[in-house]
Structure 1
Amino acid sequence: MTIAILGGYGAVGATAARRLAAHDGNPIRVGGRNLRSASALCEELGENASAHVVDLTDSRSLATFCAGATVVLNCAGPSYRVLDTVALAARAADAHYVDVAGDQPLFRRLDALPPSDRLAVISAGVMPGLTAILPRGLLGDDPARTGIDLHVGGPVRITPVSAQDILLATGPDFGAPLASWRDGEVVQGSVSPQWNVSLPHFGPAVHALPYLTTESADFARHHDIGEHRSYSVYVSERIPTTLATAWAESPDDPTAWAGELAKAATEDLSEHAPRYTILVRRHDLDHQTPPAWRLLQTTDPYRLSGVVAALTVQAVLASKSTGTHPAWRFLDPQEIWTTLADDPLCHTETHGLACTAPELKA
């Protein structure tokens, strides 16, 4: 079973390639524009890995890369410009497809295609991805009486490609600022920003800005959750100010601000050690049971996305399912949590889960 990884030598793809190579010895193709970088990684991975020059804007090049693959893993970006380009090439090659990113625009395109006997799993990274997988593992017996609070962020580097994706992720396809999910619908303007607050596990004087992503809203809708609030957490005003300025001054092409966004993240890191945090808290809206929470922290969310992508590829290879799915619907949240709890890239903690799930190793 051949695994073809596009963007295979980047921060995300290289981690996925290493994990997959160590897992079962399947042949791995590492693809991208830079043959030297791909070849260097393949030397590390061993004889089952091969380097390929691929230009995803060249349909013939992409088709050649996908031909004969069992599953194609896309780690190339920016995701919101790649859209379904790689997914369609994988489908034409009769291969399963996994995308470490992708969101509502990609899902809508793939879900509208004629039925296929192959799997497509998108949003198989950290955000989107773990930001719904971890809350799913916290749900109790009665989601309608459950509230979920999600805090995500911290000081980490932003790569140029990631900066473009962040800047392009604006508008109703991606989420709503100051909104929450409540009683079966998105409630606009229902949550206020929290400036200079002290949040557990994030540190003092951080900024928590409410933003309900489409992933969070779809997750809440699917499970009929009573309330869901989601916050992006920043250690300074640099990143939110840069985003607001980019979207206001360059609405047609905010990616022109990618360098400024990456610079803002670098300046944050000059004052803080790298730490990316996902904190999920479940509370009973009727106050009948005590709260529960899960915490995941890492110094490198890109490498963590590579781990999630590799786990998704392994699940796809073992599955008999078909169709298009976001990773949070396809993956088993308890299995993912247990695996990440033992992973050296992560620090994890749990509290108050004895009533719904076995206590997990911290």
Structure 2
Amino acid sequence: MSIDTAPLIGILGAYGRVGAAAARFLAAEGGYRLRIGGRSADRAWRFTRTLGDRAEAAVVDARDSQSLMHFTRGCAAILDCSGTAFSLRGRVRAAVLAAGVHYVGMTDDGGSRTPTGPCSAVLFTGLSGTLAGWVPRWLADGLDSATRFSGWWGGLGAIPSHTAVSCLLAKRRAVDLPGDEHPQDRGTCDGEGPRDEVALPVPQAFASPTAPPAQAVAVRRVLPEELRQQAYLLRLEEASWHEVLKGPGVPAFLDRFALRGPAAGDGGALMAAARELAKASLRDAAGSSPYQVLYGTLEGLAADGTPVRRNALLHCTDVTGLVGVIASITVHEVTRGRVPSGVHVMAATLPPGDTADWILRHLPRATARTTEVPTGEPGTTTAPPAARRPG
């Protein structure tokens, strides 16, 4: 594909941490022209020079409709890493879709998810929920059916303020579940109740060699919106998700937010809460190297009817890079026409195996692998989706 005919992807906030990571990964993949956008012409130009001859710089202010319209012209898709989406309450997304261009937002803008027009819009709803919705699909790829899923996610690292907005919005949509009575207990799809502090044995994969020995660990059992959706689509009988929060700042903040968080329509207060969460994460991560760990288990039947258990392990030390990979492969899928029209959460659009491949290609020292063992249990069948809708 020549430079002139390659699809053009416009990136808002392209020289920020997540935007820059996504731009570098897309440039490394090839097959695209990139329009690097931001309010600083100097910063956009300096970053563009590092990406090669398929990138161009442009000044854009996402809050100015004329500026945004000019930036969008000629693009196949817009990747919005600007962090202004929520404060503008969906106006950026609406303007991009009205121009006949696909939209990928790295902040949940809090706007309507009602489909409008022929283009696709994909929203990042926080790292925990996105991984909770992707990893069951990764594990289920190629299975005849699946029955039970259990996942653990956590780590350390500073949370950017605009990413924290998506995290807090996701908390409002998640179902908090009681703590497990025993480590072997599994969470059911229809369980619901107040959150308890639990003392579960954390999988060894979550141990950090750089973390202080006395560092607090809080384990929360939740059912994110994204996992509820996949539990329904995969016809799971049981699904659970544990967040391993290294503290004390982030767990304490989330407790306060759950009890006295701002009203859903109070955008200013939510942005202030997101900044407070970002500061808490920065304090918790002080003195430790950042990392993210995901461990998941899925039980089901292989294509030949053999009962199997699949395990997944994802580990990386570049937290921003992980979000950048998720952003870049999502806009890749959208641009290639693999995402239907309408509004989607990112977890439902990530390709199961290809996402792991992108992580390994672009993140040094990352681990992303699955293993499978036969369980020796009798095969089981799952009920129709309507009989077992979770949540």
TM over 0.5: yes
Corresponding position of 1:12 = 18
What amino acid sits opposite 1:267 in the alignment?
R
1:195 is the counterpart of 2:230: no
Aligned equivalents of 1:67, 1:179: Cα separation in 2: 50
Aligned equivalents of 2:259, 2:165: Cα separation in 1: 16
Identify unmatched segments of 5+ residues in structure 2: 1-6, 180-185, 208-212, 264-268, 376-391
Aligned equivalents of 1:320, 1:164: Cα separation in 2: 27
After TM superposition, give the deviation of residue 342 of structure 1 in Å. Answer: 4.0
Point out the more displaced range, 243-252 or 20-29: 243-252
Corresponding position of 1:330 = 349
Q: 3-state SS of the aligned residue for 1:194?
A: coil
Corresponding position of 2:253 = 242
Q: 3-state SS of the aligned residue for 1:97?
A: strand
After TM superposition, give the deviation of residue 260 of structure 1 in Å. Answer: 3.7
C-alpha offsets along residues 189-216 of structure 1, whole Å, 9 cap, x if unaligned? Answer: 2875423743221128632101211111
Normalised TM-score (structure 2): 0.77
C-alpha offsets along residues 111-137 of structure 1, whole Å, 9 cap, x if unaligned? Answer: 332x41x33333388444333222212
Corresponding position of 1:136 = 137
Corresponding position of 1:55 = 61
Structure 2 matches for 1:167-316, cutoff 5 A?
Answer: 167-171=168-172, 174-178=173-177, 186-189=190-193, 192-195=196-199, 197-203=201-207, 206-249=217-260, 251-252=262-263, 253-283=269-299, 289=307, 291-316=309-334
Corresponding position of 1:358 = none
1:235–1:268 Cα contact (<8 Å) kept: yes
What amino acid sits opposite 1:200 in the alignment?
Q
After TM superposition, give the deviation of residue 302 of structure 1 in Å. Answer: 2.1
Aligned equivalents of 2:367, 2:77: Cα separation in 1: 30
Q: CA RMSD in A?
A: 3.1
Q: 3-state SS of the aligned residue for 2:71?
A: helix
2:222–2:243 Cα contact (<8 Å) kept: yes
Q: 1:297 to 1:27 in 2, by over 3 A?
A: same
Aligned equivalents of 2:196, 2:19: Cα separation in 1: 37
C-alpha offsets along residues 212-260 of structure 1, whole Å, 9 cap, x if unaligned? Answer: 1111111112222111111221122321102222454552424334444
2:108–2:123 Cα contact (<8 Å) kept: yes
Corresponding position of 1:360 = none
Q: 3-state SS of the aligned residue for 1:29?
A: strand
Structure 2 matches for 1:91-102, cutoff 5 A?
Answer: 91-102=97-108
Q: 3-state SS of the aligned residue for 1:38?
A: helix
Q: 3-state SS of the aligned residue for 2:49?
A: helix
2:314–2:369 Cα contact (<8 Å) kept: yes
Q: 3-state SS of the aligned residue for 1:91?
A: helix
1:156–1:299 Cα contact (<8 Å) kept: no
Q: 1:99 to 1:35 in 2, by over 3 A?
A: same
Point out the more displaced range, 30-39 or 246-255: 246-255
What amino acid sits opposite 1:56 in the alignment?
A
2:246–2:284 Cα contact (<8 Å) kept: yes
1:78–1:164 Cα contact (<8 Å) kept: no
1:198–1:206 Cα contact (<8 Å) kept: no
Q: 1:121 to 1:163 in 2, by over 3 A?
A: closer
* Pick aligned residue for 1:24 from 27, 30, 33: 30
After TM superposition, give the deviation of residue 22 of structure 1 in Å. Answer: 2.5
2:107–2:165 Cα contact (<8 Å) kept: no
Identify unmatched segments of 5+ residues in structure 1: 356-362
After TM superposition, give the deviation of residue 101 of structure 1 in Å. Answer: 4.2
Larger radius of gyration: 2
Q: 1:128 to 1:11 in 2, by over 3 A?
A: farther
Q: 3-state SS of the aligned residue for 1:268?
A: helix
2:25–2:362 Cα contact (<8 Å) kept: no
Normalised TM-score (structure 1): 0.82
1:349 is the counterpart of 2:369: yes
Corresponding position of 1:153 = 154
1:3–1:71 Cα contact (<8 Å) kept: yes
2:125–2:166 Cα contact (<8 Å) kept: no
Aligned equivalents of 1:299, 1:216: Cα separation in 2: 24
1:125–1:306 Cα contact (<8 Å) kept: no
Aligned equivalents of 1:69, 1:353: Cα separation in 2: 46
